[in-house]
Structure 1
């Protein structure tokens, strides 16, 4: 198990890859030749360590496929995906599963908590599945960081939607992952709660040096990121630094079929 809360900050120095995540010419096709649909069409991008990246685009632009390939949930038809200096394409499914458990965190729109387990047990689960030792002090710190220190014994049904998503974020952080992926993590939440969750993800980057990659359709959510990647027709159409909700919304009206 990695040791320091902010252990990723040191990875930008000598001896470590410049990017937490890198896609080189990634192609993903579904279906057979002649009827294949190309969801990703030669995507190349590097995600810097300790950064917050939002991925946006019209429906069918390839956002979900981008996330699935980047996170090792799906194998590209062509090109390469690297987590740090690890080539995911060189790994079989068993090794990919082990990598996802230890080096990747996931936060989904639907929370995906186990109802019969307490908050603490849900957060511990990735470590237990990976057969790693639980550090009680780190668990307490993660629960405190997401504002659930007093709720560790509660079951998901006893929590609000926002609190359940906080559990999901704590679960994603417990293994000290290289990258945390969010798939519409605020899509099921009201506006005020969504902003609390986005602020929490922002603090994961600013205070602990985590790398966050979030797929979203919401320009306000994207404005919490350092960088927005815009996908259209399976390709990266644009990249925006220091985004604002208004700039993102305006750019979205000029992508792909929306243009």
Structure 2
């Protein structure tokens, strides 16, 4: 029986990723199959070397699987050349990294607009204002990144990720460089993007508190999905992490 994939923002089917040459290859992902629903918040956790970053890179089209298939919506990434993959990432995927990756010479507004300009898309001024308001930067549009706090810079990065109305926003340790209070503000903002506008967020993190903001936590160990947890709490996630190696 065919599985209904119409409500999936992304999926991996038997994804394998190896680095290095045959005989000495390291298998970073070992047959990962998972579907992530639209309008959900998923955290991806695991010990160092478990395959978290590789999972994100393959799911987002930043890296090609050695085997298996990766999809954004119903679009399979494997058959695309680099030009088409770049176009897909610009239009249908948003990224928020630990390092904010803003361009210092550009204003907040210009940084947020950048994905649309690179994609050759028309800017909707009303949508830009709505995004800046949503992330709490409506009065800072003309500022440069150096004039903002770390938390404000990450808000710019989130606005930039949302501006193309992407299928999925991927976060790679998005609160890793922030203090505890600022991290809480950023996680609350990501949570509100899911709850209020139906955005799909997939976040790699090592922090059980950050993971507790998600609907679902996927636990990776040795390149495989070892477990998943619905409605996570920080304590339950932390406890699961301490037993993950032994369990695997």
- Cα drift, residue 254 of structure 1: 1.0
- Cα drift, residue 7 of structure 1: 13
Distance 2:199 2:78 in 1: 23
Question: Structure 1 regions of 5+ residues with no counterpart?
Answer: 9-19
- Cα drift, residue 256 of structure 1: 2.4
- Cα drift, residue 90 of structure 1: 1.1
Distance 2:225 2:245 in 1: 11
Distance 1:137 1:23 in 2: 35
Over 3 Å counting, the alpha-carbon distance change for 1:3 and 1:196 in structure 2 is farther
Query: Once superposed, what is the RMSD of the aligned Cα atoms?
Result: 4.3
For residues 226-255 of structure 1, give each alpha carbon's deviation from its aligned partner in whole angstroms, at most 9, with x where no partner exists: 000000000000000000000000000111
For residues 6-63 of structure 1, give each alpha carbon's deviation from its aligned partner in whole angstroms, at most 9, with x where no partner exists: 999xxxxxxxxxxx00000000000001100000000000000000000000000000
Distance 2:10 2:148 in 1: 33
Distance 1:196 1:224 in 2: 11
For residues 183-205 of structure 1, give each alpha carbon's deviation from its aligned partner in whole angstroms, at most 9, with x where no partner exists: 00000000000000000000000
- Cα drift, residue 4 of structure 1: 25
Over 3 Å counting, the alpha-carbon distance change for 1:144 and 1:211 in structure 2 is same
Distance 1:45 1:85 in 2: 14
> Secondary structure of 1:89's partner?
coil
Question: Structure 2 regions of 5+ residues with no counterpart?
Answer: none
For residues 48-82 of structure 1, give each alpha carbon's deviation from its aligned partner in whole angstroms, at most 9, with x where no partner exists: 00000000000000000000000000000000001
The one of 208, 219, 235 equivalent to 2:208 is 219
> Secondary structure of 1:147's partner?
coil
Over 3 Å counting, the alpha-carbon distance change for 1:5 and 1:207 in structure 2 is farther
For residues 72-120 of structure 1, give each alpha carbon's deviation from its aligned partner in whole angstroms, at most 9, with x where no partner exists: 0000000000111000001110000000000000000000000000000
Superposition misfits of 4+ residues, deviation over 3 angstroms: 1-8
Q: Is the 8 A contact 2:6 2:74 kept in 1?
A: no
Distance 2:3 2:193 in 1: 16
Distance 2:144 2:72 in 1: 34
Distance 2:3 2:120 in 1: 17
- What TM-score results when the alignment is normalised by the length of structure 1? 0.92
What is the count of residue pairs matched by the alignment?
A: 248
Q: Counterpart in 1 of 2:77?
A: 88
> Secondary structure of 1:210's partner?
coil
Q: Is the 8 A contact 1:7 1:209 kept in 2?
A: no
Distance 1:25 1:4 in 2: 17
